Amino acid sequence: MKLEQGQKLLFIGDSITDCERAKPEGEGLFGALGKGYVSLVDAMLQAVYPELGIRVVNKGIGGNTVRDLKARWQEDVINQEPDWLAVMIGINDVWRQFDVPNIKEWHVYMDEYEHTLRELTSAVKPRVKQLVLMTPFYLESNEQDKMRQKMNEYGLVVKRIAEEQGALFIDTQAAFNKVLKELYSATLAWDRVHPTQAGHMVLARAFLNAVGFDWQRS
């Protein structure tokens, strides 16, 4: 188990991360962590490793792209002084190219995505104990689908930067693909993006597996 006693674990991202978390502070009582994978990770940590006292913080904001993360990186990441930082961004960067194709300034193309994500992670790397980078995903099993292909390309950027930065890398698309072999995408997400609780469990498991969580621990 890589998480240690008393560490602070901060998640940042878009609506998948946000999931109705409390604003402005995404931590504390009464569902402040939202209803998604962040809350599931926290619940698992408390249920299985209660003695570690891991502090989980959710800084996701619905609709965000990497461009939005840049605008709030100082306030919502650096100033929070997390020990662990997990970033999952890029879905909206791609989605806007497909659902509002005519509004070009809402699109974040590959170049901007890559250099911004590199800039942000480079800046924060020396300040955290561990950086975790999670790919964006698209709940479509057809690999020829144009948006799925584009999302894969953004995921490769995440992988490349994770390697550069020595970050933990989590391939969320791969985690979903296993399930998509059995379940049609509409079972996991109404719009192929916002998962049901089963989909969030896939994300939580992918994260916990990556940090050495021991499920059988009694």
Q: Cite the active site residues.
A: 15, 191, 194
49 burial via Cβ count (<10 Å: 0-12, 13-18, 19+): middle
- Least distance (Å) from a copy of itself to the CB of residue 122? 28
- Least distance (Å) from a copy of itself to the CB of residue 212? 12
* Token pair of 58 as six digits: 């959710």
Residue number with CB closer to a copy of itself (101 or 166): 101
Contact (Cβ atoms closer than 8 angstroms) between residue 108 and residue 58: no
Contact (Cβ atoms closer than 8 angstroms) between residue 154 and residue 135: yes
- Least distance (Å) from a copy of itself to the CB of residue 192? 8
Residue number with CB closer to a copy of itself (139 or 161): 139
Which positions lie near a copy of itself, rule CB under 8 A?
A: 6, 27-29, 31, 33, 35, 39-40, 42-44, 46-48, 50-51, 53-55, 95, 98-103, 106, 142, 144-147, 178-179, 181-184, 186-188, 190-192, 196-202, 205, 215-216
State phi, psi for 134 to the nearest 5 degrees. Answer: -110, 135
26 burial via Cβ count (<10 Å: 0-12, 13-18, 19+): buried
Residue number with CB closer to a copy of itself (147 or 168): 147
